[in-house]
Structure 1
Amino acid sequence: MQSNHINYVELPAKDLEANKTFFSQCFGWQFEDFGADYTAFSNSGLEGGFFSADFTSRPQSGAALVVLYSDALETTLANVERCGGSIEQPIFEFPGGRRFHFLDPCGNEWAVWSKL
């Protein structure tokens, strides 16, 4: 661990089991439960966890947007849909790459990007 670097992120989840299933099937993340209301994820690029909550994390309400990287953006988009995520914003270009936004089964917004 490096001092003064982002080390961990926590996100809300209305349904921990649904999010665990989605992220493990779609992205290969692993989970460790800590009681009934918290699950930590790993194998995601950044350690973090989901806590049981009745709200969502969306940039429109002031939350940070977590952005994943993919070498195959179209394949990842298809995987997100196949695993039960919903596309919030289809693939678009921005300076330096392309990306799309999706909602996980609990309604949290994420993005996935790739280089041009």
Structure 2
Amino acid sequence: MAAHGTDRQIDNIEFAVADIGRSKAFYGQAFGWSFTEYGPTYCEFTDGRITGGLTTEGQVRPGGPLVILYADDLAGAQARLEELGARIVRPVFAFPGGRRFHFQDPDGYELAVWSAG
């Protein structure tokens, strides 16, 4: 997540994987994605249009990746989500490039919001 996104838009998709090397080989060969390493537990990918991540930090979730939205105001986005009934399932944490938190929507889908600031 090298550059910040556009406020309140989907900015990133993250796959929790068991083996980053295996996933890089699979998606690189299948779709021509390119990769940027950010340490042993995180690798960013791009398909030339959207970026995403492969991470071993988290539980593998068959059935879907983690959708990540960008917010100029992370605290404001969290407050707005909580007012709307979202449940925060992972409090704000820092990572190289910014900070983020995870929440569940009313149907139980887990999403994340990040900010560069």
TM-score normalised to the size of structure 1?
A: 0.49
The TM-score with structure 2 as length reference comes to: 0.48
